Structure 1
């Protein structure tokens, strides 16, 4: 549940003035769309401010502050790097962050020149992420809604969604896909996962992938959760290019299908407990 906290440009200006007065004269503008886990604002020309929208997302701040500067040097594309950490204040109850501004527009707004080439670039980014030393990284859990963890944590609500959708889709096939996903597992050492690989978190410039944002769902674990985009945004040649470049085993892809199915089912069924997931793409 979201706490009743009004997060707007005025609040950001007050927080900046109180805690980072050397930036107090910079303009503050909301970034649209504003996001679900966080509200994002542009600060001047070269920075952004992100504020968690509810207590359940506040743990993401410390995680990103600690780990993103360590991940960034090993990745082939820019990711957000924190410049400052804000404290609760001005009636706002959680920590928050100031980041460097990344160029580009979300892929969700269009502008991809070659979807197959885009798929390969994304796969190369993910492979680089998976190669980073994951020792001491945060394991999947409640802090990132179990991305990178076991799908079984969502078994009850998935089956409830299937029951609610009976007669509206092929539930027999969906149950087979779900059972296969539950039986899959990552047999290698845990790797870093982004956790929310979606067009809204992928930046495009001049038709090409140019940056990856929003690591709030990141953790160390099973990369199957990062494969959902193969079904939500890729098909045919682009999906095959993504699969070929990643070269993961069939268990990983079975798990990815399960994550994609879970998301589709909770969205289609309007499950009240998953407002957050239905809103994110």
Structure 2
């Protein structure tokens, strides 16, 4: 089965090649069932291997540096966090026509939550507690540079030009003048005070697992960085609804400027993703549209 592409820069490869790579490099797992995972993720292809493992393969060269981060940091941060994170068990190398390193991790049970579903306050508080624990984890001697420097989590002002460009691309999809006016209001907020913490950078429904309405796991640590804690607040608008968002804000305990920067990040991320993925990744497009609508409604209520 050919792997469906999301980006022009992706190589052609299929599940047969992945089976051969596993057999070549990890013969103990040869012969286990291998099935593509339906995911809103954009950087990696994921396939289940048996019923306890998952294979992750970068889609583009730009995603390759995340392999080293996912190998090192989740095993260090995981014990400090109140919900499970995937820990890589093995790292593969290029082969059989596939050009980059890849990983095999343990499979975490759960399902992705749905944007706007009324889960009550339990999930919202779980998310707030997870974020507080991540942001409180010691960064040690790590610096916000190299692989730990992200295009998310820096100065919000740097998002202005790409956000405005993306809003223009939403013509025919969204009310462009309204969204542009909301972006003007959203970005008019104080920048952070320079404090830098561990940030996941992509807390959205496709990277979260729930069980019985509570947080059961946080996936995809390839975007892990050191930066502005506001960027992890995007989950308030890409997943939660009114009651949950209120409970989340109270539990996460950030000041007003940080909260409003998080809202601006949610709008920027949403409008950049929406036109790019509207035809190729319907799950992520739905999340992006929801977060745009939530920020627009939120700011319109307070205007």
Same fold? TM cut 0.5: yes
CA distance in 2 between counterparts of 1:34 and 1:253 reads 25
* Counterpart mapping for 1:213-228 below 5 A: 213-228=219-234
* Counterpart mapping for 1:237-252 below 5 A: 237-252=243-258
Equivalenced residue count is 273
CA distance in 2 between counterparts of 1:57 and 1:218 reads 12
Contact 2:155 2:191 survives alignment (8 Å): no
Q: What's the C-alpha RMSD, in Å, of the aligned pairs?
A: 2.7
| 1:130 to 2:97 alignment | no
Unaligned runs of 5+ in 1: none
CA distance in 2 between counterparts of 1:156 and 1:204 reads 36
Could you say if the C-alpha distance between residues 143 and 133 of structure 1 is closer, same or farther in structure 2, counting changes exceeding 3 Å?
closer
Q: Which moved more, 1:65-74 or 1:137-146?
A: 137-146
CA distance in 2 between counterparts of 1:55 and 1:192 reads 24
CA distance in 1 between counterparts of 2:225 and 2:122 reads 27
Secondary structure class of the residue paired with 1:49? strand
Contact 1:51 1:95 survives alignment (8 Å): yes
CA distance in 1 between counterparts of 2:168 and 2:204 reads 27
Secondary structure class of the residue paired with 2:271? helix
- Residue matched to 2:215: 209
Runs of 4+ in 1 over 6 A off after TM superposition: 140-144
1:67 to 69, 73, 87: 73
**How far is 1:165 from its partner?**
6.2
CA distance in 1 between counterparts of 2:145 and 2:16 reads 35
* Counterpart mapping for 1:62-211 below 5 A: 62-108=68-114, 114-137=119-142, 139=144, 145-162=150-167, 168-170=176-178, 171-180=180-189, 183-188=190-195, 190-211=196-217
Could you say if the C-alpha distance between residues 113 and 165 of structure 1 is closer, same or farther in structure 2, counting changes exceeding 3 Å?
closer
Could you say if the C-alpha distance between residues 146 and 262 of structure 1 is closer, same or farther in structure 2, counting changes exceeding 3 Å?
same
Residues 210-254 of structure 1: CA deviation (Å, up to 9, x unaligned): 111111111111111111121222232211110111101122112
